[in-house]
Amino acid sequence: MSDVKNLKPADNRIIQINKIRLLDPENNTDDVRSVWIQNGHLIDQPSDFKSVSKTIDGQGKWLVPSLVDLCARLREPGEQQHGTLKSEGLAARANGFLHVVIPPDTKPVLESGALLPGLRQKAYDDGGIFLHVIGALTKGLEGKQPANLAGLKQGKCIAVSNARHSFADNDVLFHTLEYAATLGLTVFFYPEDAVLAQDGCVHEGFMAARQGLAGIPAIAETVALSTQLQMVEATGVRAHFSQLSCAASVDLIATAKDKKLPVTADVAMHQLYLTDSSIDGFNSAAHVRPPLRSEEDRLGLRAGVAAGIIDAICSHHEPLSATAKMMPFAETQAGISAFDSFMALGIGLVRDGLLSPLELVTQISLIPAAIAGVHQTWKSMGGWLLVDPELQWTLDATEIKSAGKNTPFLGSALTGRVVEVFV
């Protein structure tokens, strides 16, 4: 991120927070104390308390480091009718995500390293976030020949991926991964076999059959994942598997980790809460890809998070305009606007006993920063969030900061929220 200029004006104000629960995964700290923050960083107790410009009663609240999102689509460039770097950047920032990773399937495809510095600068200038770009693994994401991976690395992309686009054949995949491995680039996979998925739009199961919708079987994910894991083993490339949706995928990742393969994985927050029952009544707000799957899958994903087999939780934020969800279900665009509900749902995992507060914070800040290879940037840029884990509120359209109001949680009573961001 060194190419982003004019990061922020020096503020130098010192903020004191008393009786705050400090959740600091960098130092494995979980205790209640007084802290002082200056320019987005924790500092020692000042010698002169006259320099403290603001004092906050932190009793009952958490202080956590800035969040890192491993997958969000901000819709710019190419689909500004759904959102922009400004609207989604500001929404991300307000909800604690100061670092956001985007996949390469924008319009145009992110396959030129020369364009990346300007995009990162615009994300910072417009939305106040640090944008981290995954470059295209193949030219135009067509799966036929490698993109200019060396140029993308020079442009400081944090990884490469073919997003959800397929490869012409496994030979292309194999040699492209060899190329990425030679350059030391991480490859992000979003496993889905295009032939098995065909024109499906929901999980293949009872709900799809009852509503007459074409299904995507779970095996479409696991067949692709199995192949990709074998390619990883053969090439030695470092790989991250994003947005897992099936319990069987968790088992495959666990086996790969047992074999010491260089792999990590994440899951979207909404996959830990929703199943394909959410699409009942042709509820297009729950149309997402990978699709919401069975209760067995949801429980398997939760178990994977609790066991650390799934390393991180991402938002998979995909804002859409209202018209994108107003057509017959199969013709609507897939996506959930996820920034605004993310922290409340994360705190719900703590309330459910799945994770401790420190484990949750670790999976949404420190670990994703490490996976994206931006740990030092995340640490040096700082940023801390004041979170009220008991704040009760309702997610209505007026509360959503994103331009996209497309969420199946709309109207839900939620508990917990980011109430202030210190940068």
- Over residues 69-79, the pLDDT tens digits come to 999 999 999 99
CA distances, 347 to each of 60, 133, 149, 309, 421 (Å): 14, 28, 39, 20, 17
Find out whether 407 and 338 touch, Cβ atoms under 8 Å: yes
Q: Rg (Cα) of the chain, in Å, rounded?
A: 21
Angstrom distance (rounded) from CA 247 to CA 263: 17
* Number of domains observed in the structure of the chain: 1
Question: Which residues, 6 or more positions from 169, have their beta carbon under 8 angstroms from its beta carbon?
Answer: none
Does the residue 164 lie in any domain?
A: yes
Residue 229 has pLDDT above 60, yes or no: yes
pLDDT at 253: 98
Quote the DSSP letter at residue 60: T
Angstrom distance (rounded) from CA 84 to CA 76: 5
Does the residue 9 lie in any domain?
A: no
Question: Which residues, 6 or more positions from 178, have their beta carbon under 8 angstroms from its beta carbon?
Answer: 235, 237
Total Cβ atoms within 10 A of residue 154: 12
CA distances, 190 to each of 65, 83, 394 (Å): 27, 23, 32
Please report the DSSP string for 304-341 in residue order: HHHHTSS-EEE--B----GGGGSS-GGGSPP-B--HHH
Question: Which residues, 6 or more positions from 158, have their beta carbon under 8 angstroms from its beta carbon?
Answer: 101, 132, 133, 134, 186, 372, 373, 374
**pTM, full prediction:** 0.96
Residue 89 has pLDDT above 80, yes or no: yes
Over residues 272-312, the pLDDT tens digits come to 999 999 999 999 999 999 999 999 999 999 999 999 999 99
Residue 249 has pLDDT above 90, yes or no: yes
Residue 1 has pLDDT above 70, yes or no: no
Q: Residue 336 maps to which CATH number?
A: 3.20.20.140
Does the residue 72 lie in any domain?
A: yes
Does the residue 418 lie in any domain?
A: no
Question: Which residues, 6 or more positions from 339, have their beta carbon under 8 angstroms from its beta carbon?
Answer: 72, 88, 91, 92, 94, 95, 97, 315, 317, 401, 402
Rounded mean pLDDT, 362-383? 97
Domain that holds residue 196: 66-377
Over residues 61-70, the pLDDT tens digits come to 999 999 999 9
% pLDDT > 70, the chain? 99
Pairing mode of beta strands 29-38, 14-24:
antiparallel
Does the residue 334 lie in any domain?
A: yes
Question: Which residues, 6 or more positions from 374, have their beta carbon under 8 angstroms from its beta carbon?
Answer: 1, 68, 99, 130, 132, 158
Does the residue 343 lie in any domain?
A: yes
Does the residue 25 lie in any domain?
A: no
pLDDT at 5: 80
φ, ψ of residue 21 to 5 degrees: the values are -85, 105
Angstrom distance (rounded) from CA 242 to CA 105: 15
- HSE at residue 202, side-chain half, CA atoms within 13 A, is 28
pLDDT at 85: 98
